[in-house]
Amino acid sequence: MPFEIIPAIDLRGGKAVRLQRGAFETEARVAEDPVKVARKFQDEGATRLHVVDLDGARMGSPQNVPVIRQILRQVSIPVQVGGGLRTAELVERVVDLGADRVIVGTSAAIDAENAGEILARFGEKVVIGADARDGFVAVQGWMQRTDEAVEAFGKRLVQMGARRFLFTDIARDGMLEGVNIEATRAFAEAVGVPVIASGGVAGPGDITALVPLQPSGVEGVIVGKALYAGALTLADALRLAATTAA
């Protein structure tokens, strides 16, 4: 499988925004029409989109459903959706809208029984969000840090049936400071299932540094602020992913 470049669309109040380290007070609006952004990414060659309901992550249930529904209707490529999906019923709601994958974070970290039910029901569609702050799992829209080391969390969830993770170093997210390559590699090697990297892509160098991690299990990367800030184009990212792998 080719290394996947996955553009991110973060939703708040129906608009596309970017945050720094998940802090809502750092919000910067990047687009009035997230659906238009989604179509643009598809037209530029994206093979998958990453859509996060930031309001949902904070409130504990999806809050931007009308926009998510429109994105899913307007693009033909797979879309993975996260933000507030903390019960099997909420996951089912988003899957029924047409999401190819769902990202589950907080519920997996704090409620093993609930996580087990979601994994049992939705299997391959579930991406477990492993959100790391100083090496420990963060929950509730990244507002709280638990006492569980992120690699231990990953191993525990694999035993429960997790088949894929989204690994984010929160300190890097939205900062254009570069991906935490070593932490990403260590997590992927610890869990032994596919991992998508996230947090901090600053430019072309991050793509060329991540692609060689494929043998360790890193299968792709989420790219957000670098695209909106003009530090990297999707075309360049796709080209680098292909040529570095070759």
Q: What is the CATH number of the domain that holds 215?
A: 3.20.20.70
Its domain, for residue 91, covers 4-245
86 Cβ partners below 8 Å, 6+ apart? Answer: 60, 61, 104, 106, 107, 111, 114
Note the pTM of the prediction, 2 decimals: 0.92
Cα distance between residue 219 and residue 194, in whole Å: 6
H or E, element range at 138: strand 136-139
For the chain, how many structural domains are there in total? 1
Instruction: Render each residue's pLDDT in the chain as its tens digit; 246 residues.
Output: 789 999 999 999 988 876 655 455 555 566 679 999 999 999 999 999 999 999 998 888 999 999 999 999 999 999 999 999 989 999 999 999 999 999 998 667 778 889 999 999 999 999 999 988 888 888 754 566 778 899 999 999 999 999 999 999 886 655 567 899 999 999 999 999 999 999 889 999 999 999 999 999 999 999 998 998 899 999 999 999 999 876
State how far the Cα of 15 lies from the Cα of 30, in Å rounded to an integer: 8
Distance (Å, rounded) from C-alpha 26 to C-alpha 10? Answer: 13
Positions marked active-site? 10, 131
